[in-house]
Copies of this chain bind each other. A is one copy, B any other.
Amino acid sequence: MQDLELKDIIKAHKRISSYIHKTPVLTSSLLNQKLGHEIFFKAECLQKVGAFKARGAMNTLLWLSEKKMFPSKVVAFSSGNHAQAVSWASSKLGLTSEIFMPEWVSSIKLQATKEYGAKVTLCRHRQEAEDKAYNAKEQGAYLLPPFDHDQVICGQGTACLEAFSQVDQPISAVFAPCGGGGLLSGTVIAAKGKSPEISVIGSEPLLANDAAQSLRQGKIFRWDKSPDTLADGAKTLSVTQRTLNYLNRLDDFHEISEQEIIYWTQWLCHFLKLHIEPTSALAMASAIKWLRTQNSQKSILVILSGGNMDPKTLQRVWSQDHLGGPPFLNLSL
């Protein structure tokens, strides 16, 4: 397995750029004024399907087409943004797709996945969804994995690459959340390829810290069942050898409490006026931890993963009020 490089991300970006949104890079003057630093936010919640996942899915299918390996049918198992991304990318390219979802999936994600064009098969639990997807693969369908694939990683890395072209000043550090590690791996490759001087820092929920444990132990730690965190994009059971390989190049990795996740989801919505999912708040909380250790003014990039939430999640986010007092007082959270 050869290591991916910046040029692979550049290739991916050329492949997908006519299909995806060049999402805006946003700033908040109030936030920057408070912090004394400059934060650029890559708003992937405004991406197709509402999440960066559209990039990896589309890149993989277009890469297959280039390799003359274009499948007649695509399958995936997912309860989240990857399901919608595979459904959307397959339909865009005229391919039939089938997504296997556990029956507890939120109705809004189920509905969106169907509306993008996929056939959805509900399964009793995640294991059955996975088994059925592998069965379909044996029968000739292409199984598009959520992160353990070079072209998925390259696709996700295009968010960081694109952001660099949208910001007209040097970036000291880049922050991205970690689920299975696809976005974070792509981000490491893009940022370090641009300059090894750029720090890249990952983050995941403390309650779902399998990547942190894997990094500490030097081998993959895997949950038996999905950990319980509000940041549902980071609920994956484990990273893989492929993504751990890139995560080892990170400059730091932060574990974020549920309170911090809620705190920063609220403040990001308020400052940026974007509908931001809790997984995106991981990167912001991590950025604040890093900025506290800096002695000079920095310009940094925070990748906002997406904006797909069901009302239950939103009720949990807004059941507290962190906007009542001045921000950043609770930074010791």
Contacts and interface: CB of A to CB of B under 8 A. Distances in A.
Interface string A305-321: 00100111011001111
B324 A320 contact: no
Q: Of residues A111, A273, A321, which shows the largest number of chain B Cβ atoms within 10 Å of its Cβ?
A: A273
Nearest to A326: B111
Contact of A108 (B107, B270, B314): B270
Contacts of A90: none
A107 B33 CA distance: 19
A273 B318 contact: no
Contact of A321 (B266, B312, B323, B325): B312
| A interface: dominant SS | helix
Interface in A260-278: 266, 269-270, 272-276
Quickly give the copy total for this chain.
2
Contacts of A275: 269-270, 272-276
A46 interface: yes
Contact of A318 (B45, B107, B307, B311): B311
A318 B314 contact: yes
Interface string A283-320: 00000000000000000000000010011101100111
B320 A273 contact: no
A291 B41 CA distance: 36
B50 A273 contact: yes
Given A24-B24, A115-B30, A311-B318, A323 B270 contact: no
A323 B106 CA distance: 10
A275 B34 CA distance: 21
Contacts of A105: none
Interface in A238-285: 266, 269-270, 272-276
Given A315-B318, A318-B311, A324-B311, A46 B111 contact: no
Given A30-B115, A273-B50, A319 B323 contact: no
Interface in A107-129: 107-108, 111-112, 115-116
A101 to B, nearest CB: 16
Contacts of A270: 108, 275
Given A318-B318, A324-B107, A326-B111, A273 B311 contact: no
Contacts of A326: 111
14 contacts: A24-B24, A30-B115, A33-B115, A46-B273, A50-B273, A107-B325, A108-B323, A111-B326, A272-B275, A310-B323, A311-B322, A311-B323, A311-B324, A312-B321
Closest 8 CB pairs of A and B: A273-B307, A311-B321, A314-B318, A45-B273, A273-B275, A108-B323, A269-B275, A315-B318
Interface of A: 24, 26, 30, 33-34, 45-46, 50, 107-108, 111-112, 115-116, 266, 269-270, 272-276, 307, 310-312, 314-315, 318-326
